[in-house]
Amino acid sequence: MDYKLVAIDLDDTLLANDLQISKRTVKAIKEAQNEGVRVVIATGRMHSSALPYAKMLGLKHELITYNGALVKRVVDNQTLYHEPISTELVRKVAKVAQKHDLHINFYLDDLLYVNKTGVEADYYEEIAGIKPILITEDVGDFLDRPSTKLLIIENDRTKLEEVFSELTAGFADSVTITTSKVNFIEIMGQQVCKGTTLANVATKLGIKAEEIIAIGDSYNDLEMIEYAGLGVAVGNAKEEIKEEADYITGTNNEEGVAQVIEKFIL
């Protein structure tokens, strides 16, 4: 099969645990592009957090961020697609998070706002490289416009699972709720996921699902892996993701992405 597009998750997939991309992987991605293959990052991260990696890899086209809620073109920063969560729903989800005294990220105009400081805010800043802005007024008053995504961070797994269940019971019909890292709950607008956005991008480009490779590790990558002709799980992926994948490559620390590109494209 001549693959025309490769969609790659960032954290725990393309990035090793030190948040770097190996020289071998950079080389493979650049060579794939030279062969005419479109390489697209599809991440839960903010656009501003993912952009430096896209530029380092020489990507020029679509950058899928916020789990598919925002697509911008790398070369000129033009917004191609944006599907945020409505102000009303943002307020309702925020109430649930605050009732349980949880840390929550709001994303407005690609800026990061948080309801409180602490270990969760510090952890997110460390991995994303984005300085959070603390909301000093009442959160309900502050939230006067849609948020591209919401992210709850909680290190107590039992508490996190309880809130995940509560949110699913209350909002499953109006938002998309998923997880990426073990201490994250990711919330997007209804129907928003990496798979749907990737399908929209591919359709506009005239690329069929079977001509696509998608590589990921976690639950927010599932729809993308199911959609692609070759759905790939890295070796460190969640077991449920491996079960749905067509192929399992090396881990994020073993240059699993480079292995896939070298095997199926180069």
Q: Does 162 share its domain with 233? A: no
Residues 6+ apart with CB under 8 A from 46: 65, 66, 107, 110, 112, 128, 130, 148
Residue whose C-alpha is closest to residue 202's, from 104, 80, 32: 80
Q: Does 200 share its domain with 258? A: yes
For the chain, which ranges sit under pLDDT 70?
A: none
CATH number at residue 258: 3.40.50.1000
Give percent above pLDDT 90 in the chain.
Answer: 95
The span from the CA of 217 to the CA of 47, in Å, is 20
Q: Which of 189, 215, 239 is the last residue of a domain?
A: 189
Q: Which of 189, 206, 231 is the last residue of a domain?
A: 189
> How confident is the model over 26-81, as pLDDT tens digits?
999 999 999 999 999 999 999 999 999 999 999 999 999 999 999 999 999 999 99
Cross-strand pairs, 42 = 64
The span from the CA of 41 to the CA of 191, in Å, is 20
Q: Does 185 share its domain with 197? A: no
Q: Does 101 share its domain with 166? A: yes
Residue whose C-alpha is closest to residue 139's, from 101, 91, 103, 107: 91
Cross-strand pairs, 214 = 7, 231
* Count of domains forming the chain: 2
The span from the CA of 64 to the CA of 258, in Å, is 20
Q: Does 102 share its domain with 157? A: yes
Q: Does 55 share its domain with 118? A: no
Length of the chain measured in residues: 266
CATH number at residue 121: 3.30.1240.10
The helix or strand, by DSSP H or E, that contains position 47, with its residue range, turns out to be helix 47-56
Q: Does 248 share its domain with 206? A: yes
Q: Does 74 share its domain with 201? A: yes
Q: Does 95 share its domain with 161? A: yes
Q: Does 94 share its domain with 62? A: no
Q: Does 247 share its domain with 185? A: no
Give yes or no: 144 in active site. Answer: no
Q: CB–CB of 214/198 below 8 Å?
A: yes
**What is the model's pLDDT at position 93?**
94
**What is the model's pLDDT at position 228?**
98
Rounded to the nearest angstrom, the gap between the alpha carbon of residue 103 and the centroid of all alpha carbons in its chain is 19
Q: Which of 163, 189, 215 is the last residue of a domain?
A: 189
Residue in 9, 11, 217, 221 annotated catalytic: 9
**What is the model's pLDDT at position 179?**
87
Q: Does 43 share its domain with 16? A: yes
Parent domain of 178? 87-189
**Sheet architecture: strand order including 230-233:** 38-41, 5-8, 212-216, 230-233, 247-248
